[in-house]
Structure 1
Amino acid sequence: MSSQVAGSTVAVQTVVRKLGLGAIIGIIFFSVSGGPYGLEDVVGYSGAGMAIFLIIITPLIYSLPIALMVAELATLMPVSGGYYQWVKEGMGPFWGFQAAWWAWVASWFDLAIYPVLFTEFSAYFFPGLETTTFALGPVDLSLKWIVGVIFIWIFAGMNMLGSSIVGDSSKAFLVIVLLPFLLVLVLGLFQMDYNPGTPFVPEGLSTMEAFGAGLFVIMWNYAGWDGLSTVAGDIDNPRKNYPKALAITIPMITLIYLLPTVVSIAAVGTEDVEWTAGAFTLVAESIGGRWLGLLLAFGAVVSAIGLFSAWLLSYSRIPFALANDGYLPPSLAKLHPTRGTPINTIVIAAIICSLVTLLPFGQLAALSVLVGGCVLMLEFVTLIVMRRRFPHLERPFKVPGGAAGPWVILVLPATVISIAVYYTVLESGFLAGVGYAVGGLLTGVIAYLALSPAKRRSGIDKRVNFETGELTG
């Protein structure tokens, strides 16, 4: 459709809705989890007992508040662009732009994690990935980086084929990822010779130090509940299906994390296995033999594919939304005529990701969580502001607790993020802990000042139509 703004016709792009409940659950699963892979470091950093405690408590104090906030805002404003449109509607153009820009910056680091994980997991099958390099003049390129770049562009191509392809593949990937852990769970139940809660914390660490040591890792494993909001326009009946999918996936992901971790620790203990990335593969070999280790390693490779594909679907819509609103060049707001996908923004995401994969995994994860956490705080504030500004709007889902409800669910994740930042700075120093993230956040102000003139010249001013759930203007 189109509308008349400042004497010119402006095309208002909308995306065909294609994703049903099953596809939404699959995409949320890979936006948030991708399986228990990555939890091994929580056991190594925090101890067996504290790891189990963190797996249980984090959904209650971090995931559930975020999901409740997302459910209310997503059903109030089920529009393409998700949290960008929510914050812009509630807090104005400046903060809306910051939410989108910060999420885009976070995406540069977050997307790059999954090609790194893919090559790490693939090295189990092809050890040469770890050691092979190619000399190109003064630069040495590792085979791992080259394989990672190939991975990026193959699955960027899949994203270009449409959101339904991503949704369907996510359902298949989910089964492939979970099957090896189901086998570990079943076989491990007959080999439980250790107390899974021992040691509760590693020797030499206090309870709070152990809690803080594993917190960032567990937050990363439980992050991403708002990711699918950017493609709300692709969802069939988002006001019904989005909150239903969140209600299903929170307990599902918690159990998928908890049960294999408890059984694995009980079956092999913590002394004979180094609990770091890849430990679940060694656990599988110990419990079921080489065949089960191979199956679990293959599931890890598929998990990295599913995570990258789901997040690329979400993150590619951020520059699309900014372009559709006049901040970025109109070419970034173009959709494929038959697939309905923003191909140009997918290409840009793939280019940036190909370069950022050169950074180490730990730095990528920390930057992603910190910058993404600031976006979450803007979303929570938006929930409170929208309650005050528009108290009578129909809300298919509403955070319980009356007027105090939004404040309660804001305090919990804000406290968790603050604790994580404190311990990160304590361990890594200010620059590595938060300095780079602060620099990334400040680019949002610079970008807003630089791009606002283009926005004003475009004459575009889109707003949410609360009755239809569409963008107009």
Structure 2
Amino acid sequence: MATHASKGNAASLGIFTLAMISVSAIIALRNLPTLAKNGTSIIIILSLAAFLFFIPVALVCAELAAGWPKEGGIYAWVKEAFGEQYGALAVWLEWIESVVLLPTVLSFIAANIAYILQPELSNNRYFMFGVMVTVLWCGSLLNFHSTKSSGFVSTIGIIAGSVIPGIAIILLGAYWFQSGQPIQVELSMQSLIPELNFSTLAYFTVIALGFAGIEVAAFYVQDAKDPQRTFPIATFISATIIIIIYMLGALSIAMVIPKDELNLSSGMMQAMQKFFNLLEVPWATPCFAFLTVVGGLALLNTWILGPSKGLLSSAENGNLPAFAKKTNRHHSPVAILLMQAIIGTMLVSMNLFIPTINQFYWIFQTQAAQLILLMYLMIFFSVIKLRYSQPNTPRRFRIPGGKLGIWLIAGTGALFSLCAFLVGFVPPKEYQFMDPLLYSGILVGGIILFSLPPFVWHTYKNKKQSHSPI
């Protein structure tokens, strides 16, 4: 998400606070069913993704935010390293990824609303479509008003809809395990080892998406006490907390719902219904669903506004047509929000044509992950370039180890990003709902289509300037 430099008092944030900022920026319960599909091997998969991707991204973004704490975030960093056009592309990728991700966030919300009304509605594509479109436009219109009210919604929603339900699902999973109920996942040392084939490795693509957002915490490095020491420690703590929450939450779901029956958008509610039936309090299911809807709305609110503000910085520098700079009296980027809602509606309508909700959820999740991985590749390359081109720029935090350290950390993250991007073209066995070549072709076409606008506008602008009278 696009972010801005922290406004707090200098050198006021300690290790724990920094770690909690990272956790709150990343944790999303909608990821749990996708993780649960991997069974107990998710422990190894999450650990690898954390060390090869999450920690490198955190450290790289911390150095960039410490050296270039400018409005626009990612746009400013990549622009410093490679120029205006690439900075515009980076922030565009961040924004369009959030738009492509909207169908998954909206389907999560719609599925949980179904569990408040009638669980069977979560499999009714027309109900899902109607709710998704309604929520999308209501969320967009909310952000036409002040960001103060928008921020209030996000804060309340994260506590009520992510923290409380997250703790609940882990505790109920532990109760299910110790009470001797049937376990739907293999629990053995052998099951911890992931299958090494392209179909299984495709999960690394969407797991990388589950760690996206760490750049939010990076801006707080400006306000950290002794950031050279505290930020790396806080990063490892936050990585550990995130892995534990994701791991235990996913295993809680995997224990009670067979893999073949697990729904990616409503999988958490499938598990909670089982838990509450065991406790003989079935009335608690819609209450829990209400909390998760609140959390989903908070997440949606954050993703609707944050990337749009980042794209506005790019538009104000002439990297988009003039209409994209349109704001209202609340300084909300209304033109970008409208464009986002229109594209989101078109993408959500694909729910009416893709055979199942799981397939709908998976393909948009994968496409969004590939777009954000391209953005992170640009960030990794930027930090390396800036170490050489601007070595004397003051940075409150530097990745230790000199040039060797920067190549090791940024190189590891870049290699993981590239591999995760490529394996995303191979769907897991349960999502092979079309010819693999056609599936890959759709993803390639989507990447080209979604990445093209900044190049088209840049070419048009240069051509127009070359024909303008001197």
TM-score, length-scaled by structure 1:
0.76
Find out whether 1:55 has 2:46 as its counterpart: yes
- Partner of residue 163 from structure 1, selected from 126, 132, 147: 147
Greater strand content: 1
Change (3 A) 1:364 1:196: closer
Which residue of the partner structure matches residue 283 of structure 1? 271
Equivalent position of 2:433 in the other structure:
none
Equivalent residue in structure 1 for 2:208, among 219, 230, 246: 219
Alpha-carbon distance, 1:17 to partner? 7.2
- Cα distance between partner residues in 2 of 1:222 and 1:28: 10
**TM superposition shift of 1:61:** 1.3
* Contact 1:106–1:372, Cα closer than 8 Å, also in 2: yes
CA distance in 2, matches of 1:30, 1:457: 50
Could you tell me which amino acid in structure 2 is paired with residue 449 of structure 1? T
**For residue 62 of structure 1, what is the amino acid of its counterpart?**
F
Pick the aligned partner of 1:43 from 15, 24, 36. 36
For residues 146 and 465 of structure 2, what CA distance do their matches in structure 1 show?
Answer: 28
Cα 1:49/1:457, change in 2 over 3 Å: farther
Mapped to 2, the partners of 1:456 and 1:30 lie a distance apart of 48
Provide, for residues 254-273 of structure 1, a one-character-per-residue CA deviation record: whole Å limited to 9, x for no partner: 232123334555xx456598
Q: Which amino acid aligns with 1:317?
A: K
1:451 is paired with a residue of what secondary structure?
A: helix
CA apart distance, 1:414: 3.0
Measure how far apart 1:374 and its partner are.
1.1
Q: What one-letter code is carried by the residue in structure 2 that aligns with 1:240?
A: D
CA 1:292–1:199 in 2, change beyond 3 Å: closer, same or farther? Answer: farther
Conserved in 2, the CA contact under 8 Å of 1:91 and 1:382? yes
Matching of residues 69-468 of structure 1 within 5 Å: 69-127=60-118, 129=121, 142-176=126-160, 177-192=162-177, 193=180, 198=187, 206-209=195-198, 211-226=200-215, 239-240=222-223, 247=235, 249-265=238-254, 268=255, 271=258, 274-277=261-264, 278-289=266-277, 290-337=282-329, 339-359=330-350, 360-427=360-427, 428-429=436-437, 430-452=440-462
Unaligned runs of 5+ in 2: 351-359, 428-435
| Letter paired with 2:376 | L
Instruction: List alignment gaps of at least 5 residues for structure 1.
Output: 1-13, 134-141, 459-473
Structure 1 position 376, deviation (Å) = 0.9
Q: Is 2:103–2:347's contact at 8 Å kept on the other side of the alignment?
A: yes
The CA deviation at 1:211 is 4.5
- Structure with the largest fraction of helix: 2
CA offset at residue 15 of structure 1?
A: 8.7
**Aligned-residue offset at 1:150:** 1.9
Residues 382-425 of structure 1: CA deviation (Å, up to 9, x unaligned):
11111111112211121222212222223323333343344333
Contact 2:320 2:457 (C-alpha < 8 Å) held by counterparts: no
Equivalent pair of 2:8/2:223 in contact (CA under 8 Å): no
Question: Cα–Cα, structure 1 residues 95 and 16, in superposed 2: closer, same or farther, change >3 Å?
Answer: closer
**What's the counterpart of residue 27 of structure 2?**
33
Q: Which amino acid aligns with 1:182?
A: I
Q: What's the CA shift string for 1:173-205, capped at 9, x where partnerless?
A: 1221221332333344344245976267889x9
Q: Does structure 1 retain, via aligned residues, the 8 Å contact 2:136–2:341?
A: yes
Range with greater deviation from structure 2 (238-247 or 395-404): 238-247
CA pair 69-171 structure 1, distance change in 2 beyond 3 A: same
Measured after TM superposition, the shift of residue 450 of structure 1 is 1.8
Q: Secondary structure at the match of 2:391?
A: coil
**Structure 1 contact 31–310 (Cα < 8 Å) conserved:** no
* DSSP-derived class of the 1:326 partner: coil
Percent identical across equivalent pairs?
21
Distance 1:251 1:210, change over 3 A: same
Counterparts of 2:144 and 2:224, CA distance in 1: 24
- What amino acid is aligned across from residue 431 of structure 1 in structure 2? G
The number of residues matched between the two structures is 424
**Pair 1:298–1:336, CA change in 2 (3 A):** same
Change (3 A) 1:71 1:452: farther
RMSD in angstroms over aligned alpha carbons?
A: 3.8
